[in-house]
Amino acid sequence: MSKINNLRDWLEFLDRTKRLICLEDNIALEYDVLRYIEHFEGKQACFFSRPGGHEVPIAGGLLGQRQWVAELLELPIDQILPAFQRALKAPLAWNVVEQDSAAVHEVTHDKDIDLKRILPIITCHERDGGPYITSGLVHGLNLETDKQNLSINRLQVQGPDRLSILMLPRDLFAYYQAAEKLDKELPVTVTIGHDPVVELASQAIAPRDVCELTIAGALKQRPIDVVKSYTNDVHIPADAEIAIEGFIVPHKRVLEGPFGEFPKYYTGQDLLPYIRITCITHRRNPIYRVNNPSGIENVIIGGIPRESSILERMQLNFPNVLDVRLTAGGLGRFHLIVKIIKKQYGEAKNVIACAFGCHYDIKMVTVVDEDIDINDSEQIEWAIATRFQASRDLVIIQHGLGSKLDPSGDKRGLNDKLGLDATKYLGDDERFYVSRIPPSLGNVYDRLAKDSQSLASYLRP
């Protein structure tokens, strides 16, 4: 069973393994907190004890590398996706605990709610429309089925007890549309600060009404403890640091944005739904979690669960697909590498077509052979350099559905798709025989001299 059960366990683990730094007090909530997180991300997590003089500390940069995720899950790095695939197939029901026993309910604010006084909410980028909660896990309740969904949505502070919410056309938005048809408010609770497994699971591409908390439970191989919110019927992780309870108001919209989104460009202003906050609860000494919206951590949290869903779907059609990777340069969304054992002529192009069907965000697919390490961008480029011919191996699909957040695409989301078959041409083994230095006995480090004396004595005999 995992040793990491909440955000605190993970922070202590990062600290013990020298991957966490503590910052001085009074680092400004506007821009500076994120500047530090971005500077150190991938190498060190950051802990701000009194950010902007606020009593509630901030933690960020908590999943800086894929290897950290492997350690979190206590798995070899190449077993992360299979573990997600297994979890998607066999979600584990949550365990409900008493309201009074939940850590997230230790302190309650149900009158005169003032978001900025209670929480150190940061402003991320110079042109952002204001402070945003970037790591809020939104638990929504489907009024028709009584099932829940879990997603990460950007939330702009609009007032002391109002948050606007961006819902892309997925499950939570479908719940909201259904509630609007009934002229009812949609119950939601936003939780902040969790066992990072819960954050990862929130990004799984699960069927509607399969709550991602049950996928988190399967990943951890134990049910997630949940507790019912005080002012709505939404269940939330009992070990969360902070919970913001409320309802998404039907039909009404508020001005939202601009905001620097994950592709590192701004989305403009728009009219979005908003949450009417009814209660905020938290631990006695809560920790506020910040996620860099356009940083490495976002790539990892968004990328790994997507990869597992894409791999699962592709292997249904092509069992010879070995692995997939959404690259960091492609923001963990747009560029997919597929590793296959190629068996038939033209097969890589079918694999490319299949990949585009797995998720509309995917803009470029590169298919490589089994000898390529898909975590190594130099090896991928080498495969393209030596195994790819544009007139033979390039696939272009114009005007497919893509991400509306890709600024190079059509505003309606129409996007060109690019596929590269960078696999060896079948039947020409001799030309593609890779040169290598024959392996010798023993480890190269066995033959290192103790010092550089041989160089010094040769230069100055």
Partner 1 sequence: MDGLTEKIAAIVEEANQDGAFRQQLLDEPLACLKARGLDISDSSLLEISYTAGYGVFLGIDIRALSDAPSQPKEPRGKDINSDHFLDCLNVNSRNGISE
Give the shortest CB-137-to-partner 1 separation in angstroms.
Answer: 19
Q: Which range, of 45-53, 301-309, 394-402, 440-448, touches partner 1 by CB under 8 A?
A: 394-402
**Distance in angstroms (rounded) separating the CA atoms of residues 133 and 190:** 10
Q: Count Cβ atoms within 10 A of the Cβ of residue 367 and give its class: 0-12 exposed, 13-18 middle, 19 or more buried.
A: buried
Q: Which range, of 189-197, 337-345, 368-376, 407-415, touches partner 1 by CB under 8 A?
A: 407-415
Q: Candidates 3, 67, 78, 160: give the one binding partner 1 (CB under 8 A).
A: 160
Residue 291 tokens read as 């996620």
Helix (H) or strand (E) holding 322: strand 321-326
Pairing outcome for strands 58-60 and 45-48? antiparallel
Closer CB to partner 1, 66 or 162, in the complex? 162
Closer CB to partner 1, 397 or 456, in the complex? 397
Q: Which range, of 24-32, 156-164, 214-222, 319-327, touches partner 1 by CB under 8 A?
A: 156-164
Give the shortest CB-70-to-partner 1 separation in angstroms.
Answer: 34
399 lies in the site for partner 1, by CB under 8 A? yes
Q: Which range, of 9-17, 70-78, 158-166, 229-237, touches partner 1 by CB under 8 A?
A: 158-166
Q: Which of residues 270-329 bind partner 1 (CB under 8 A)?
A: 270-274
Q: Which range, of 142-150, 162-170, 331-339, 441-449, touches partner 1 by CB under 8 A?
A: 162-170
How many Å is the maximal CA-CA distance in the chain? 92
Give the shortest CB-270-to-partner 1 separation in angstroms.
Answer: 6
Give the shortest CB-158-to-partner 1 separation in angstroms.
Answer: 6
Q: Which range, of 47-55, 62-70, 101-109, 165-173, touches partner 1 by CB under 8 A?
A: 165-173
Residue owning tokens 């779907």: 313
Closer CB to partner 1, 219 or 272, in the complex? 272
Residue 188 φ/ψ, nearest 5 degrees? -140, 150
Alpha-helical segments (H) within 91-142: 115-118
Interface characters, 240-279, with partner 1 (x: CB under 8 A): ---------x-xxxxx------------xxxxxxx-----
Give, as one character, the DSSP assignment of residue 110: -
Give the shortest CB-29-to-partner 1 separation in angstroms.
Answer: 13
3-state SS, residue 40: helix
The per-residue DSSP string of 335-374 comes to EEEEEE---STTHHHHHHHHHHHH-TT--EEEEE-TTS-T
Closer CB to partner 1, 91 or 302, in the complex? 302
- Work out the number of other CB atoms within 10 angstroms of the CB of residue 101: 10
Nearest CA to 260 among 407, 137, 372, 422?
Answer: 407
Give the shortest CB-417-to-partner 1 separation in angstroms.
Answer: 11
Q: What are 288's strand-pairing partners? A: 58
CA Rg, the chain, in Å? 24
Q: How far is residue 175 CA from its own chain's centroid?
A: 22
3-state SS, residue 150: strand
Helix (H) or strand (E) holding 170: none
Interface characters, 107-126, with partner 1 (x: CB under 8 A): ---------x----------
Give the shortest CB-396-to-partner 1 separation in angstroms.
Answer: 5
Q: Which residues bind partner 1 (CB under 8 A)?
A: 116, 130, 157-160, 162, 166-169, 173, 177, 249, 251-255, 268-274, 396-399, 404, 411-414
